[in-house]
Amino acid sequence: MSNVSVFRVDQKIALVVGAGSGIGQATAIALGQSGAIVICADVKLEAAQATADEIVKDGSQAVARVIDIRSRASIDQQIDQIQKEHGKIDILVATPAVNVRKRLLTYTDDELDRVVDLNLKGSFRIARAVAQVMSDSGGGSIILTSSIRSLVVEPGQGVYAATKASLIQLARGFAVELASKNVRVNVIAPGVVDTPLTAPIKNSSDWYAAYGNRSALKRWAKPEEIAWPIVFLCSEAASYITGAVLFVDGGWTAIDGRFEPPL
């Protein structure tokens, strides 16, 4: 295996959940460009199909599927179908998340349930289902999506941050329990990325600029700048990496404060 091919995922069966937009869409396309057979899954079929069409247009293989990770029945149905068609799943990337921006004292139980059910329980459901397939078929790579909010929090993001921090420990638990099955489980932790989830921030010029200036690189990330590190974690180049968290945040969690002292 050459030092170039270890970064490729040729003919790997890659299930990308959340492939209809944002980081999930960029990751599905990047995996296709890296040789994977991509199953583009999303709660919205039209969005998933658009991503699959983009991958096929570039000469790679992809199909679209509907998966709602809030529903075990939806997950089980699609996983069974994938197994019938391909016999295995080599890669899982799970990106769906929701954020209700409210201060904690005003959070309702319904809002709490909504965020926890998708971000944490949904990620658990899809990881558990795919991990079983991987365990039975010789191994694989699972990537869950956390955030800089797993470490740093601002007003209005307490519940979202709690789910993203919990995902890290969940992934570590999976990594430890699945290591003997040759299943690697890692976490990607993006900074601020131009996606539909962050659209409310982009619509406020002051807020958008403040976030851009907060990181060491002083700009927002593009989705593909998160996608390629994910592809790395999926590849044989990362064969000794499991239970890890890769922060792709432009130095957000490295820099201290918003003022550069006159040294």
- Structure-block tokens of residue 117: 């059910």
DSSP string, 198-210: GHHHHTSHHHHHH
Strands (E), 57-182: 61-66, 91-94, 140-145
CA–chain centroid gap for 17, Å, is 8
Strands (E), 81-198: 91-94, 140-145, 183-190
Q: Measuring CA to CA, how many Å separate 46 from each of 1, 37, 129, 195?
A: 38, 19, 24, 18
Catalytic residues: 160
The whole-angstrom separation of Cα 75 and Cα 131 is 13
The whole-angstrom separation of Cα 65 and Cα 47 is 10
Provide the residue type at 78 as one letter: Q
Strands (E), the chain: 13-17, 37-42, 61-66, 91-94, 140-145, 183-190, 245-248
